[in-house]
Chain A
Amino acid sequence: MLSLLVGALVLSAIYALVGFAWVLLRRTNGILNLATGAQLALGAFIFNQYATSWGLPWPVVVLGTLATVVALGAVTHWLIFRKLAGQPEFALVVATLGLASALKGLSSLTWGTEARVMREPVEGRVVELLDGVSTTLYGIFGLVAALVVFAAAHAFFRYSTTGIRMRAAAENSVLASQGGIAVDWVYVLGWAIALTAAAIAGIMYAYQTTLSFHGVDALGLRGIAPALVGGLTSIKGVIPGALIIGLAETFGVKLFGGSAQDVAAWVVILVVLLIRPQGLFGEKQVERV
């Protein structure tokens, strides 16, 4: 039982990171990014390219992945979403679907579709917590990464001038522009942070399982569940959302077998849409009339 809970917690940490990516983009850039799954996988494959294929030193791997992902975020905004400014939300969502398809093709073209094992930074993967309760080092690392990302995000949005301007632009982009804020750079930053969180989640997940586009992509899409439970635009709402999804998936697999992993999160989504579509922390968005 306890080891199940530990497993759920470790999984929740990854879901929290993915959910963070969904919420951040929805909130600052106003985009429901259905390419999140593909971008998660892309981040992990880029990391793997530097770490495993090229065998670069670890600091270079980390910084190189970060730089590449941030650059991808900037390109995504300037090349696609800046050009779609003023189009209805519908067009933005469809564009993310197109992006997902293109990224999948690119990834499969570059790295193929077989699962890979990534080069590991340390040995001795299994950590014994208590008697009979153990997890991998990567599980613990994922938890730490999630804590760090959420704490950093909290501090960033509350105390830094850039974070405050991002919140301003998220609330009202026209007023932000009238107030002299460089809204386009806010959007670039939104993409960069979201893609970084997504890449961390993808890498952690790949270390805990294996690296395959399909697996990481599916995880990234399921990450909309913690975001939805929390209300789609609430960063703090992601944490309970991630715990709920982590528990649902872990116990779903325990009760119904491994294939429940693929659907547990989606069932939670349908239930949430049915009983409380605005989520736990979202504002009510129900259309009057």
Chain B
Amino acid sequence: MNEPLLQVRGLTVSYGGGSVAVDQVDLDVHDGEVCLVLGANGAGKTSLLRGIGGFAASERGRVRSGKVLIGGADVTGRPPRTMVGHGVVLVPEENKVFRTLTVGENLRAAPMTGDRGSRRELLDEVVSLFPFIRERMDLPAGQLSGGERQLLGIARALLLKPRLLMVDEASLGLSPIAVRKVFDSLHSLVAAKGMTLLIVEQNVRAARAIADRAHVMVSGTFALSGPAREVLESEQVRRTYLGLEV
């Protein structure tokens, strides 16, 4: 197998110099792969994605040690905007959209690359993936439903032409129908565009259909890693981490 798109080695993330949220994590994500991270609340999943996608200078979080490589290039500890330049785009857990901007403005806020024609093309393509956007163009994004906000966040991320798209808790707080919609969209992204995904998800039922590999996170480290099918079917996961009936 060729070199992974994302290589994480011994990544340690801490807040305010104090508490360690991610402790020496190793992770590989290959091109075209869908990688799932599971774990209880506070396990450090969000911190892992933030450690890869970068913290802004105004935040308390820091990558304390370890390495993050994208296509072999060392990008450890770079701020989010630089990571976007390297093709790593995160749809964060909270605040996925600019609430005071309209849906259309949310999309225009994304600094797209390429010439005018290709930008137009990408925009049309993304909008056709999420048809609701066309009807809601002039609505402030704060007034969208939770599911629509999630999709708008993903749409905005797609305009940045990600090589690796990270989505944190896509289904959190959504109705079952909305969860279905979001995962159908993710599924079609993977199927049609071969998108590489790194997702954090508690809803195992929804994630099962698209995940290739899975990692179970417990207090900042991976307790279990492997092919998604094996990990998700393992009795240990079903009982301990997911609380499903065996």
Interface residues of A (CB under 8 A from B): 82, 85-86, 161, 164-165, 167-168, 171-183
Contacts and interface: CB of A to CB of B under 8 A. Distances in A.
Contacts of B99: 171
B59 A174 contact: yes
Interface string B34-68: 00000000000000000001101111100000000
Contact of A173 (B56, B85, B96): B56
A180 B85 contact: yes
Given A179-B84, A180-B84, A168 B98 contact: yes
B109 A164 contact: yes
B57 A168 contact: no
Nearest to B60: A86
Contacts of A171: 98-101
B79 A180 contact: no
9 contacts: A164-B101, A168-B98, A174-B56, A174-B80, A175-B95, A178-B84, A179-B111, A179-B156, A180-B89
B90 interface: yes
A207 B153 CA distance: 50
Given A86-B59, A168-B101, A171-B100, A177 B108 contact: no
B38 to A, nearest CB: 23
B85 to A, nearest CB: 7
Given A176-B98, A178-B89, 17 more contacts: A85-B58, A86-B57, A86-B58, A164-B108, A167-B100, A167-B101, A168-B98, A171-B100, A172-B98, A175-B95, A175-B96, A175-B97, A177-B56, A179-B156, A179-B157, A180-B85, A181-B111
Main secondary structure of the interface of A (DSSP, over half): helix
A161 B116 CA distance: 14
B105 interface: yes
Q: What are the 6 closest A-B residue pairs judged by CB atoms, nearest first? A: A180-B84, A85-B57, A177-B80, A168-B109, A178-B80, A86-B58
Contacts of A179: 84, 109-111, 156-157, 160
Contacts of A82: 57
Contact of A180 (B60, B81, B105): B81
A97 B158 CA distance: 43
A22 to B, nearest CB: 20
A180 B111 contact: yes
A167 B90 CA distance: 20
Contacts, number: 79
A167 B109 CA distance: 9
Interface of B: 53-54, 56-60, 79-81, 84-85, 89-90, 92, 95-101, 105-106, 108-111, 156-157, 160
A174 B58 contact: yes
B58 A176 contact: no
Nearest to B94: A175
A178 B108 CA distance: 15
A178 B53 contact: yes
Given A167-B98, A168-B98, A181-B81, A176 B109 contact: yes
B109 A177 contact: no
Contacts of A86: 57-60
A90 to B, nearest CB: 14
Contacts of B97: 175
B79 A177 contact: yes
Nearest to B142: A171
Nearest to B107: A164
Contacts of B89: 178, 180
A197 to B, nearest CB: 22
Contacts of A180: 81, 84-85, 89, 110-111, 160
Nearest to A87: B58
A82 B58 CA distance: 9
Contacts of B58: 85-86, 173-174
Contacts of B79: 177
A208 B136 CA distance: 49
Contact of A177 (B81, B96, B106, B157): B81
B102 to A, nearest CB: 9
B98 A175 contact: yes
B113 to A, nearest CB: 9
Nearest to B84: A180
B92 A175 contact: yes
Contacts of B60: 86
Contacts of A174: 56, 58-59, 80, 92, 95
